[in-house]
Structure 1
Amino acid sequence: MAAAFAAKNAIKSGEKLTPEAMSALVDQLFATKEPYFGPHGRPVIVTLELEELERRFKK
């Protein structure tokens, strides 16, 4: 039930957020017991090496 509620009320792709709203979301995320995984068990945060970021942005 909690997972369905979270999915229904999630921010949709393409929805614009203010910097304040983004900061509040990060604060709320790290205030949870399990900040690294979403309600469906998928990772919320990934670690990328600098080289991977450069490759993805074609630098």
Structure 2
Amino acid sequence: MRAAALEYQPAVSKTLKALVDRDAVTMQAAPDDARRREVALTPLGAVRATLDAARR
């Protein structure tokens, strides 16, 4: 996944920003490397993911 993310980095960045704006994920600088970001699913994001999966 990491290699794919690097290949499509602008698209990944745009998608992550949209998810942060929708409160689906949180993103913060990694404590050991400010160039890296740690992304975590929020409770709201988990509910949305579950509902989306149920619709499929």
Structure richer in helix, relative to its length: 2
TM above 0.5 = no
TM-score, normalized by length of structure 1? 0.27
Q: Which one has a bigger Cα radius of gyration?
A: 1
Structure richer in strand, relative to its length: 2
If asked which structure has higher relative contact order (CA below 8 Å, sep 6+), I would say 1
